[in-house]
């Protein structure tokens, strides 16, 4: 053993020191470090799980948001379509109403014109009668002599029953 | 006080007396006296009309003839023939306003063939 240079006493002491060191480390150092590492691992796991959960929730939320957006877009499209349709109907109704009103005005105007024409004709008729009567009176007053009157009377008596 | 005689009865009495041949003036004087005595002068026109009605029933017609110019007796003769009257008494009225033609008024009807009437008819044709 001297040839190899191994000193058993020193070796023994070193092994003993190493064992004491190992025991001290195993008792006082490794457990806290191990527990700390465990703790860190657990935290990392927990964080990972939380992140996963958060990711899932985010995905779910995104899906729901997309669903809501899709629904809102569909409703908006419906509303626009309905509004366009109603606007078109209102325009049509307004056009029809205006047309009917215009036709009514024209018809009323025609009736009014016809009434005026009838009234004008009546007035003309009456004026003509007055003129004829007046002219007849004037002319016959001068034209009916006694002899003419005798003839008129004779004719009238012939008609009498 | 005797009962008041109706107009119709008075008229009939006068008509009877006239048609019997009594002089009309006498009958009319009796009538006038009665009316004055009974204070019925206001009914004279109505009584005369009633007398004319009754006489017309008996074909004795008293007519008013209106012309624009004076006529001769031939008109009365033609009228008597045309209205089939046994006797015709004519009241002649000359009114230039009728212009021409003749208007014959009897108690029951009027025949107007004057020019003035025709002009009036024309004017009545107004609408």
Average pLDDT over residues A62-87: 96
B99 and A143 in contact (C-beta within 8 Å)? no
Listed in sequence order, the residues at least 6 apart from B9 whose beta carbon sits closer than 8 Å to its beta carbon are: none
pLDDT of residue A96: 97
Tens digits of pLDDT across chain B (127 residues): 456 788 888 889 888 888 887 777 888 888 889 889 988 889 889 998 898 899 888 888 889 999 998 888 888 888 888 888 888 888 899 999 998 899 999 888 898 999 999 999 998 988 8
Closest chain B CA to residue A139: B99
At residue A82 the predicted structure's pLDDT band, cuts being 50, 70 and 90, is very high
Q: State yes or no: pLDDT of A26 exceeds 80.
A: yes
Those of residues 56-95 in B touching chain A at CB distance below 8 A are 67-69, 71, 75, 78-79, 82-83
Q: State yes or no: pLDDT of A148 exceeds 70.
A: yes
Average pLDDT over residues A63-69: 96
* Nearest-angstrom CA–CA distance, B66 and A124: 34
* Nearest-angstrom CA–CA distance, A133 and A123: 15
Contact A150/B at CB under 8 A: yes
Kind and range of the H or E run holding B60: strand B60-67
Kind and range of the H or E run holding A120: helix A30-143
* Nearest-angstrom CA–CA distance, A113 and A111: 5
Q: State yes or no: pLDDT of A114 exceeds 70.
A: yes
CB pairs under 8 A between A and B: 68
Q: State yes or no: pLDDT of A1 exceeds 60.
A: no
Q: Average pLDDT, whole number, for chain A?
A: 91
Whole-structure pTM value: 0.57
Interface touch A146/B69, C-beta < 8 Å: yes
Contacts of residue B104 in chain A, CB cutoff 8 Å? Answer: 160
Listed in sequence order, the residues at least 6 apart from A153 whose beta carbon sits closer than 8 Å to its beta carbon are: B67, B71, B75, B100, B101, B102, B113
Min Cα–Cα distance to chain A from B37, Å = 42
More confident residue, A47 or A7: A47
Contact A6/B at CB under 8 A: no
Interface touch A161/B82, C-beta < 8 Å: yes
Min Cα–Cα distance to chain B from A100, Å = 36
Interface touch B99/A153, C-beta < 8 Å: no
Q: State yes or no: pLDDT of A48 exceeds 90.
A: yes
Counting beta carbons within 10 angstroms of the beta carbon of residue A150, is it exposed (0 to 12), middle (13 to 18) or buried (19 or more)?
Answer: middle
Contacts of residue A136 in chain B, CB cutoff 8 Å? Answer: 115, 119, 122
pLDDT of residue A68: 97
Q: State yes or no: pLDDT of A2 exceeds 70.
A: no
B31 and B14 in contact (C-beta within 8 Å)? yes
Give the one of A122, A149, A154 whose C-beta lies nearest to B127's C-beta. A122
Q: From edge to edge, which strands make up the β-sheet containing B87-94?
A: B87-94, B60-67, B102-105, B110-112
pLDDT of residue B1: 47
Average pLDDT over residues A112-128: 95
Contact A130/B at CB under 8 A: yes
Mutant choice from A131, A155, A160, A161 vs B, greatest count of B C-beta within 10 A: A160
Q: State yes or no: pLDDT of A160 exceeds 90.
A: no
pLDDT above 90: percentage of residues in chain A: 71
Contacts of residue A150 in chain B, CB cutoff 8 Å? Answer: 69, 71
pLDDT of residue B86: 86
Interface predicted TM-score (ipTM) over 0.85: no
Interface touch B113/A160, C-beta < 8 Å: yes
* Nearest-angstrom CA–CA distance, A28 and A43: 23
Mutant choice from B74, B94, B103, B126 vs A, greatest count of A C-beta within 10 A: B126
């Amino acid at each position: 053993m001297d040839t190899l240079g191994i000193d058993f006493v020193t070796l023994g002491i070193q092994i003993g020191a190493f064992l004491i060191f190992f025991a001290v480390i195993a008792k006082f150092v490794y457990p806290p470090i191990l527990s700390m590492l465990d703790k860190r691992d657990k935290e990392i796991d927990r964080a990972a799980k939380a992140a996963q959960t958060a990711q899932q929730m985010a995905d779910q939320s995104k899906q729901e948001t997309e669903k809501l957006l899709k629904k809102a877009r569909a409703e908006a499209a419906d509303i626009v379509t309905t509004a366009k349709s109603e606007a078109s109907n209102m325009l049509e109704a307004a056009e029809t109403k205006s047309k009917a009103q215009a036709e009514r005005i024209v018809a009323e105007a025609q009736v009014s014109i016809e009434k005026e024409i009838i009234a004008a004709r009546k007035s003309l008729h009456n004026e003509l009668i007055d003129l004829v009567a007046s002219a007849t009176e004037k002319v016959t007053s001068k034209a009916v002599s006694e002899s003419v009157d005798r003839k008129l009377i004779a004719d009238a008596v012939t008609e009498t029953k | 006080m005797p009962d008041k005689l109706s107009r119709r009865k008075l008229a009939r009495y006068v008509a009877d007396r006239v048609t019997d041949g009594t002089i009309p003036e006498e009958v009319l004087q009796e009538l006038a006296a009665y009316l004055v005595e009974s204070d019925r002068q206001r009914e004279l026109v109505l009584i005369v009309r009633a007398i004319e009605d009754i006489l017309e029933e008996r074909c004795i017609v008293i007519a008013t003839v209106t012309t624009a110019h004076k006529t001769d007796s031939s008109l009365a003769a033609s009228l008597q023939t045309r209205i089939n009257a046994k006797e015709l008494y004519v009241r002649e009225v000359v009114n230039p306003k009728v212009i021409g033609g003749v208007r014959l008024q009897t108690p029951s009807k009027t025949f107007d063939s004057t020019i003035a009437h025709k002009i009036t008819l024309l004017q009545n044709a107004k609408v």
